[in-house]
Structure formats: structure tokens, C-alpha cells
Amino acid sequence: MDAGQAKELLKGIGFSIFTPVIKNRKKYMYKVFEIVIDDVKGLGRFAEIELKEDFDDTDKAFEKIFDLLRQIGLKKIETLKRGYVSLIWNPDHDFSVIKEV
């Protein structure tokens, strides 16, 4: 099923477009990390880093990601635990948290 067919299927069972999110996405792989850069219309640029290996300890997984961030020279990061729709709906609210890496 392609994207157009999926869209028609959802419309057929009663879904409608409520908040469109228009973005340009670029994906990269570096060692065991998937790095995604989104340029979201009206919001700006966002990066997401995902560890693409199995892990049992979440803290150790985050530490691997933080090690990568330190290797590329970052000392602080701004994290968001909200999706783009929430950011679009609440333009005056700052959902970000600054963290030391």
C-alpha cells in the first residue's frame, strides 16, 4: 500500500486531515545511530537521534547518544517531548528542556 492508498483508506473509515505538518526530512546512519533532520514549516529545524541496537539499560543507551553529541562538540541540547502537532497548536508555549550532555 502506498501513501495515497493509505490516505484514501483512512478517509474511507472517517478520518480527516486536522492539522497538516509539512516537513522536509533527511535521514542519515552513523555507526549504530539513525540521525533524522526535519525542517518543519512554521516551526524550524529539529534533529532526532535513535540508537539502532538492542539494549537492556535505557540509561546506558542515552549515555551512548550523549557520547556521540559530545564527540561532535555539543555541550548542551534542547529536548522536546512533544510532537509537531502539539507545537503547532501551542505556538506561545515553550515545551523545551535544556540538558547538559
* Distance separating alpha carbons of residues 77 and 67, to the nearest angstrom: 13
**Cell (9 digits) for 93:** 508555549
- What the chain holds in terms of domains, given with CATH numbers, is 19-100 (2.40.320.10)
Single-letter code of the amino acid located at 90: N
Cβ atoms 87, 43 nearer than 8 A:
yes
Which one-letter amino acid corresponds to residue 19? T
Which pTM was predicted? 0.78
Per-residue model confidence as pLDDT tens for the chain (101 residues): 898 899 899 999 998 888 999 999 999 999 999 999 999 999 999 999 999 999 999 999 999 999 999 999 999 999 998 999 999 999 999 999 999 98
